[in-house]
Amino acid sequence: MAIHRSPVGSIVLNRCTPKSPFHADVLAGLSMSPKEIPSKYFYDERGSALFDRICELPEYYLTRAEFAIMHRCVAEMAEALGPQCLLIEYGSGSSVKTPILIAALERLTGYIPIDISREHLYVSANALARRFPELDVAPICADFTEPFELPRSGRNNQRTVVYFPGSTIGNFTPEEAVELMKQIAQQVGPGGALLIGVDVRKPIEVVETAYNDRAGVTAAFNLNLLARINRELDGNFNLGAFEHRAFFNGDHSRIEMHLISKKKQVCRIGPAAIAFEEGENIRTEYSYKYRPDLFEKLANQAGFVVQKVWMDEKRLFSVQYLERVAGDSRVTSDE
Ligand code: AVI
């Protein structure tokens, strides 16, 4: 790559050939104005461990509310899914909610957890295989936002179901969420379904507190992105010169997480130099909070029909059961 200035003039790529998708995406994101880094890069080993800690924080209502729904409503979920499903889990991480579902499903034909973090994936897949010795567990280390191959299943599946808990769908823009659900619709095929965790719009104080915990774990999770760039991409970011900021953007119904430069500075990633003004931000995450009727519109655009919505008692979170519209021309093109 030739030496050049980016259109916004804040990054100089000096004979810098990206070594990996992470490297390419970071350089591309930091050459934009405003700067951004895709949130999927939070989840290296340390980031995944920090996320597990976030899930246990008193302020982070999402995990507890989703657990409560799973415990209370799993029998209804199992009835909706029916017997002999093949279960595919998107972004399985520590797979902590999955055993509740697996234990309730009748004659499950297989379980395919998919995650970007290899270590995390294999540890949790092994634990599940030990806990359910009869179950065929076939983990796939992949970025589920990119095309990936599913193993051929010789079993007699009645239905393929993608389980996508945790409200990770909220980390995509509504347009991206529709595209991702279209991909899922294609993967599950005719008669297939999606069981998905979706965070719900709620008073701003509750949601902002969840992303600004007192113990600073979310801040450490956010700053770990810069530490990861230092570790993996030969970066020299001074973590003390950036701060975590998270706020609710009501117009878009989303939490926005940013890293703010505390001063004017130039940081390096290998030979590339990235200039920051004081107060300049890097957007690191969106987390959309949906009114159920608005999420239903997205599901319909992707070729799904919402059959059932379960919520916790405080109506903080939802788990939704979506069935693929039979013969939907939007998702059947290459089947
Ligand atoms: C994984 N995802 C649903 C989390 C969320 O709440 O959007 C990631 C997270 N970011 C900060 N805290 C948790």
DSSP codes joined into one string, 7-61? TTSSEEE-S----SHHHHHHHHHHTSSSEE--GGGG-SHHHHHHHHHHTTSSS-H
Q: What is the whole-number distance in angstroms between the Cα of residue 287 and the centre of ligand 1?
A: 7
**Which residues sit opposite 311 in a β-bridge?**
318
**Which ligand 1 atom sits nearest the alpha carbon of residue 167?**
3
Residue with tokens 């279960």: 87
Q: Where are the domains of the chain?
A: 22-38+204-287, 61-146+156-202+290-324
Average pLDDT of the chain, as a whole number: 91
Q: Are strands 4-5 and 272-276 parallel, antiparallel or unpaired?
A: unpaired
d(CA 315, CA 293): 14
Q: What is the pLDDT of residue 10?
A: 43
Question: How far, CA to CA in Å, does 115 sit from each of 51, 132, 162?
Answer: 14, 20, 13
Question: How far, CA to CA in Å, does 231 sit from each of 98, 216, 225, 228, 273?
Answer: 32, 21, 10, 5, 17
d(CA 75, CA 161): 16
Residue 93 has pLDDT above 90, yes or no: no
Q: How many CB atoms lie within 10 A of CB 303?
A: 23
d(CA 117, CA 141): 7
Q: What is the pTM of this model?
A: 0.91
The runs of H, that is alpha helices, within the chain are: 21-30, 45-54, 61-81, 98-104, 118-131, 174-188, 204-210, 217-233, 292-301
Q: What is the whole-number distance in angstroms between the Cα of residue 208 and the centre of ligand 1?
A: 12
CATH number of 61-146+156-202+290-324: 3.40.50.150
Mean pLDDT, rounded, for 104-111: 96
pLDDT band at 5 (very low <50, low <70, confident <90, very high): very low
Mean pLDDT, rounded, for 183-197: 96
Of 236, 289, 233, 285, nearest to 259 by C-alpha is: 285
Of 287, 286, 284, nearest to 200 by C-alpha is: 287
Q: What is the pLDDT of residue 335?
A: 46
Judged by DSSP in three states, 85 sits in strand
Q: Between these two residues, 300 and 329, which has the higher pLDDT value?
A: 300
Can you spell out the DSSP letters for 181-220?
A: HHHHHHHH-TT-EEEEEEEB---HHHHHHHTS-TT-HHHH
pLDDT band at 13 (very low <50, low <70, confident <90, very high): very low
pLDDT band at 221 (very low <50, low <70, confident <90, very high): very high
Percent of the chain with pLDDT over 70: 91
Sign of torsion, CA 100 46 210 164? negative
Q: What is the whole-number distance in angstroms between the Cα of residue 141 and the centre of ligand 1?
A: 20
Residue 285 has pLDDT above 80, yes or no: yes
Cα torsion 267, 270, 271, 273 to 10°: value is: -20
Mean pLDDT, rounded, for 183-202: 96
Q: What is the whole-number distance in angstroms between the Cα of residue 286 and the centre of ligand 1?
A: 9
pLDDT band at 147 (very low <50, low <70, confident <90, very high): confident
Number of residues that this document lists for the chain: 335
Q: What is the whole-number distance in angstroms between the Cα of residue 63 and the centre of ligand 1?
A: 10
Residue 195 has pLDDT above 70, yes or no: yes
CB-based pocket (< 6 A), ligand 1: 54, 62, 166-168, 170-171, 211, 218, 285, 287
Residue 178 has pLDDT above 80, yes or no: yes
Residue 254 has pLDDT above 50, yes or no: yes
Q: What is the whole-number distance in angstroms between the Cα of residue 311 and the centre of ligand 1?
A: 19
Residue 12 has pLDDT above 60, yes or no: no
**Which ligand 1 atom sits nearest the alpha carbon of residue 255?**
7
**Which ligand 1 atom sits nearest the alpha carbon of residue 246?**
11
Mean pLDDT, rounded, for 23-47: 96
Mean pLDDT, rounded, for 301-309: 98
Report the Cα 40 to chain-centroid distance in Å: 7
Mean pLDDT, rounded, for 324-331: 73
Of 113, 89, 93, 108, nearest to 164 by C-alpha is: 89
Q: How many CB atoms lie within 10 A of CB 1?
A: 11
Sign of torsion, CA 126 128 134 135? negative
Candidate of 287, 290, 318 to mutate for ligand 1, largest count of ligand atoms within 8 Å of Cβ: 287
